Amino acid sequence: MTDAVDPGGGSRPPRPSLGPTDTGPGNLTAVPQADLTPSETEPAGKPEALALRPTGLRPVPLAELARTLDVRPAHAADSAAAEDVPVTGITHDSRAVRPGDVYAALPGARFHGVDFATQAASLGAVAVLTDPAGTERALATGLPVLTVDDPRGRMGRLAAEIYGEPGRDLLQIGITGTSGKTTTAYLVEGGLRAAAKEGELTGLIGTVESRVGDRRVKSERTTPEATDLQALFAVMRENGVTSVAMEVSSHALVLGRVDGCVFDVAVFNNLSPEHLDFHPDMDDYFRAKAALFTPERSRVGVVNVDDEWGQRLAGEAGVPVVTFSAEGHPDAHWRAEDVEIGPLGSTFTAVGPNGTRVRAAAPLPGPFNVSNTLAALVALVVAGVDAQTAADGIAAVPGVPGRLERVDAGQPYLAVVDYAHKPDAVESVLRAVRKVTPGRVHAVLGCGGDRDPHKRTAMGAALARLADTAVLTSDNPRSEDPLMILAAMLAGAAEVPSHERGTVLLEEDRAAAVAAAVARAEPGDTVVVAGKGHEQGQDIAGVIRPFDDREVLREAIVAAGHATPRSQDEERDAR
């Protein structure tokens, strides 16, 4: 096993500190920025489309960027003059180019980014970064061209330089794993908020949204592309953010989205079959995750040794490792004891090195959220946060969008929406609600189209085995025939012996499926709508229609006559 650092965080190199200090507030002050000012008509807290670019940065001469890449700018007319071009930004999206940008023209599966170089030039791009295949067409734009063999692999490092190495001024905690990344990131950010000094803000980057302090930005993917990520870090720095919790996907690691980042703490939650349409096998999937735990990507790792892949990672990681176990493994540096599982959350004692004992609360139900909470707590302690401060901040997190999120219309049963969209996650959610449900469990689930088809039978089987009513339906069928997806799920449900499975219903229309589950609910039961979580649209044949499981579930409860009338204030608070 890799030598572990002090599990209390004592050996972490100097970075923005969250521990006690006599130096007063941090050295980054909030800078007003038009992009972060809410409009008068927009409700507070609503995600907004922000132009996430920093302001006031020193332009970087193209010659400096060329030296970073160890190339010389090529130009159809005057290469020497090209070196003096001032650069103020970088993007890989030709539609998002701003004056002063380098446009990264990347090779793709169907198109080459250089196909859109003319558009980028018309919007104000001052140079093009591309590969040898794109050089000639890039030169035709009249812009200077930086040619490298792997532009995608170099643009993260380039973006960090253009934006003034913003990550160096942020305490960065990155979370990876198959399940629990989003929840753990929210919990970590809650602890960071509790530890922040006056004038300091915290940041969050993940599947649901990114946050700069209290300002919210809807996310397009779990981890932004490298160009967008470094710009976001710079925006955070300008606005007084000193620490950030961030989800790191395997796609991000393989495709270079976190190039230019070195995380102060990297967290590993677990690994189970997922994204096997992208990774050829589980070993490849593991290696992608393990890349985060190398000196190029992080300084110290926090690893779950309840997971067999976590045990392997703890032994193979290239950075010092602090281990944790929600199951109480005695060899772990941190472990959970005296666990009490409740219907809305859980409590436990976190036991650490040197007799450290901290009473902690997981603000979401389920044993897996004890693990997520312990992961967040340990990561915060390793980052320099006082253990009790971290625990209190985590406990104060009000919830995580789409993760066992309650929908309460006054009905006499529990109704929740969850993002579970893989077999292990579906099983974990259903087992969790089963423990706190005196009656029956009615669950709705679909599988996404154009994604890993191998998990569909397992998901259908899990639902049929663990729910009293299993309603198989559509998720985001995308370009696939929804009935073909349902057929695979039904085949999995049919593999469960009849005496072990609940009632299985098929309903292609997702709203009708939710209504069918609600119609069977009685006092003391639980209704679970799984698969889409926080998503607010449904992709059918390339058309994205408005669809929010939380709203659809609420409407079904009201339509079934199960809701208790509320005042307008109560209804607003419930939403």
pLDDT tens, residue by residue, 246-305: 999 998 898 889 998 999 999 999 998 776 677 789 899 999 999 999 999 999 999 999
Number of C-alpha atoms within 13 angstroms, CB side, residue 340? Answer: 7
178 is in an annotated binding site: yes
16 is in an annotated binding site: no
Tell me where in the chain the CATH 3.40.1390.10 domain(s) lie: 60-163
476 is in an annotated binding site: yes
Minimum mean pLDDT among 17-26, 50-59, 330-339: which range? Answer: 17-26
Q: What pLDDT digit, counting tens, does each position of 500-521 carry?
A: 999 999 999 999 999 999 999 9
Q: Give yes or no for residue 209 having a pLDDT over 50.
A: yes
Minimum mean pLDDT among 79-88, 159-168, 303-312: which range? Answer: 79-88
The pLDDT value given to residue 382: 98
469 is in an annotated binding site: no
Regarding beta strands 543-546 and 537-540, do their DSSP bridges make them parallel or antiparallel, or are they unpaired?
Answer: antiparallel
181 is in an annotated binding site: yes
Identify the residue whose tokens are 């890989």.
92
The pLDDT value given to residue 243: 98
Q: Which residue would you say has higher pLDDT here, 394 or 260?
A: 394
The pLDDT confidence band at residue 342, using thresholds 50, 70 and 90, is confident
Q: Give yes or no for residue 33 having a pLDDT over 60.
A: no
The pLDDT confidence band at residue 567, using thresholds 50, 70 and 90, is very low
The pLDDT value given to residue 564: 87
The pLDDT value given to residue 44: 35
The pLDDT value given to residue 570: 52
Q: Give yes or no for residue 30 having a pLDDT over 80.
A: no
Identify the residue whose tokens are 């979401």.
364
312 is in an annotated binding site: no
323 is in an annotated binding site: no
428 is in an annotated binding site: no
CA 300 to chain centre: 20
Tell me where in the chain the CATH 3.90.190.20 domain(s) lie: 405-563
182 is in an annotated binding site: yes
Pull the structure tokens for residue 37: 């000012």
223 is in an annotated binding site: yes
The pLDDT confidence band at residue 24, using thresholds 50, 70 and 90, is very low
Q: Give yes or no for residue 439 having a pLDDT over 70.
A: yes
Q: Give yes or no for residue 59 having a pLDDT over 90.
A: yes
179 is in an annotated binding site: yes
Residue 522's contacts (CB-CB under 8 Å, 6 or more residues apart) are 412, 413, 439, 440
The pLDDT value given to residue 280: 83
Q: What pLDDT digit, counting tens, does each position of 125-136 carry?
A: 999 999 999 999
| CATH code of the domain occupying 171-396 | 3.40.1190.10
User: Which CATH architecture does the domain made up of 60-163 adopt?
Assistant: 3-Layer(aba) Sandwich (3.40)
The pLDDT value given to residue 48: 40
Residue 73's contacts (CB-CB under 8 Å, 6 or more residues apart) are 62, 63, 66, 79, 82, 83, 85, 127, 144, 145, 146
Percent of the chain with pLDDT over 70: 88
533 is in an annotated binding site: no
10 is in an annotated binding site: no
The pLDDT confidence band at residue 218, using thresholds 50, 70 and 90, is confident
3-state secondary structure (DSSP) of residue 279: coil
Q: In terms of Cα–Cα distance, which of 173, 190, 84 is closest to 127?
A: 84
Whole-prediction pTM: 0.84
The pLDDT confidence band at residue 574, using thresholds 50, 70 and 90, is low
The pLDDT confidence band at residue 566, using thresholds 50, 70 and 90, is low
**3.30.499.10, 3.40.630.10, 3.90.190.20, 3.40.50.2300: which CATH number matches 405-563?**
3.90.190.20
475 is in an annotated binding site: yes
Q: What pLDDT digit, counting tens, does each position of 533-559 carry?
A: 999 999 999 899 999 999 999 999 999
The pLDDT value given to residue 452: 85
94 is in an annotated binding site: yes
The pLDDT value given to residue 568: 47
- Calculate mean pLDDT across residues 40-46: 32
